[in-house]
Amino acid sequence: MRKNLYSDLYALEETHWWHRAKRDLCEIYLRKIQKKKRHMRLLDIGCGTGGNMQSFAKFGKTYGVDISKEAIRFCKQRKLTRVRLGSAHKTRYASSSFDVITMLDVLEHVDDKKTLREVRRLLRPGGLLILTVPAHKMLWSRWDEALHHKRRYEKKELYNLLASSQFRVLKITHVYSFLFFPVLFIRSLKARNSKAEYPSDFSMNNGFLNGILLFVSHIEQSLLRYIHIPFGTSIFCVAEVQ
């Protein structure tokens, strides 16, 4: 991620609908895990400015790792102490240390096979990986480049990657389906105009619109209990280490 975007992320991570919706979806599964395991140890790989760690702390003891010194600095501003500088595939935590690992929009930045090997090493038997990644190669844009993405994923591709890395996929689905066609249209227009300015997707100045999008996201999350959505701008997945 470009260094200047960390300040945007820090300012908006607690209130921006996209970040809140992503955490809310994760928390549906974290609550289920908490019923079985009260003293949970959770690691957020690619913890960024610490918004997820802060939110997930109600489920147990949270830890974080990020490759960016700027990100760690913002974590410290949130009074988060269990964070360390490190890469996704070399975290320097002990083997079998965690019950849950979250990687929210991280896998697309890194060597995914090496990172999943590290996740498998870190998880305790039966431990869970909760992750989100950007979906559909057709949605690639300069925003992906600004975030230093290496790839976007197709759902089958992600499923096969996890299976080959010795994970059993429990849930995999597209999310933010209501954004797919608007995003596809806007990014197609901007792709034709190489000089078009690309504002931060983190920006959201309209509080009413922010609330509407969060509300629609919660409706989608309710539907996910019964259906798998065939398209969306992201993929959400829960997988168990084998």
pLDDT at 159 over 60: yes
Q: How confident is the model at residue 39 (pLDDT cuts 50, 70, 90)?
A: confident
How does pLDDT run across 138-158, given as a tens digit for each residue?
Answer: 999 888 998 899 999 999 999
Backbone angle region of 116, left / alpha / beta, with phi > 0 → left and psi within -120 to 50 → alpha? alpha
Name all domains of the chain by residue range, CATH numbers in brackets: 5-241 (3.40.50.150)
How does pLDDT run across 203-223, given as a tens digit for each residue?
Answer: 556 789 999 999 999 999 999
What average pLDDT score do residues 25-53 get? Answer: 94
Distance, CA of 238 to CA of 100 (rounded, Å):
10
pLDDT for residue 147: 85
Backbone angle region of 217, left / alpha / beta, with phi > 0 → left and psi within -120 to 50 → alpha? alpha
Backbone angle region of 148, left / alpha / beta, with phi > 0 → left and psi within -120 to 50 → alpha? left
Q: How confident is the model at residue 115 (pLDDT cuts 50, 70, 90)?
A: very high
What average pLDDT score do residues 180-195 get? Answer: 76
Range of weakest confidence among 24-28, 34-38, 42-46 = 34-38
- For the chain, what is the mean pLDDT? 92
The single residue listed with the structure tokens 């790792």 is: 65
pLDDT at 227 over 60: yes
Report the percentage of the chain scoring pLDDT > 90.
78
Q: How confident is the model at residue 188 (pLDDT cuts 50, 70, 90)?
A: confident
pLDDT for residue 134: 97
Distance, CA of 212 to CA of 221 (rounded, Å):
14
How does pLDDT run across 79-101, given as a tens digit for each residue?
Answer: 999 999 999 999 999 999 999 99
| Crossing angle (nearest 10°) for helices 155-164 and 112-122 | 50
Report the percentage of the chain scoring pLDDT > 70.
92
